[in-house]
């Protein structure tokens, strides 16, 4: 009878584990960026409200940023979301004004939120409030921008990550 030779060296102390997790692909790196810039003097509820409104404008206008719908293990479906992170920054009123100017000069997709929108209660009045003010006089409290990473980084010059 031919016996297999015994292994040499230390014996394993635990049985080998077989992973039930699917093989993970390399992380996806995006050459684009979604960023929100908030004025630093906003109240916490305003920061959340403005961020939600601003990012809602990016998806419909730039459909390639939307991923596939989600589904849990029971097959319950959920809405698709952005396929990449949204980075949130803050800055002074002057930083926001400069970022807005740079966004316009680069013709990047953008959404804005002005202080007037805190006093309106519906979409029609929101649009009318923005339409009533010339570009250079907008009292910006938030700006969302999408584009190539380096262009968005240049737009956000002077801003810092939101804490």
Average model confidence (pLDDT) for the chain?
Answer: 87
**Angle ∠(20,25,27) on CA atoms, nearest 5:** 125
pLDDT surpasses 90 at 137: yes
Sequence-ordered strand ranges (E) for 31-139: 32-39, 70-71, 77-78, 86-91, 110-114
Q: What are phi and psi of 45, to 5 degrees?
A: -65, -35
Dump pLDDT digits (tens) for 88-125.
999 999 999 999 999 999 999 999 999 999 999 899 99
């Amino acid at each position: 009878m031919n016996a297999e030779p015994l292994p040499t060296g230390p014996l394993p102390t635990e049985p080998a584990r077989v992973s039930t997790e699917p093989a993970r692909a390399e992380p996806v790196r995006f050459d684009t960026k979604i960023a929100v810039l908030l004025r630093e003097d906003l109240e916490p509820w305003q920061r959340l409200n403005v961020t939600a409104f601003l990012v809602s404008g990016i998806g419909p206008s730039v459909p390639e940023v939307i991923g596939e719908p989600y589904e849990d293990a029971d097959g319950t479906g959920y809405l698709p979301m952005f396929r990449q992170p949204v980075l949130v920054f803050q800055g002074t009123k002057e930083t926001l004004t400069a970022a807005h100017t740079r966004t316009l000069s680069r013709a990047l997709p953008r959404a804005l939120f002005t202080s007037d929108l805190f006093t309106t209660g519906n979409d029609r009045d929101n649009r009318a409030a923005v339409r009533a003010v010339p570009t250079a006089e907008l009292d910006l409290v938030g700006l969302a921008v999408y584009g190539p990473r380096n262009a968005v980084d240049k737009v956000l010059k002077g801003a810092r990550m939101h804490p």
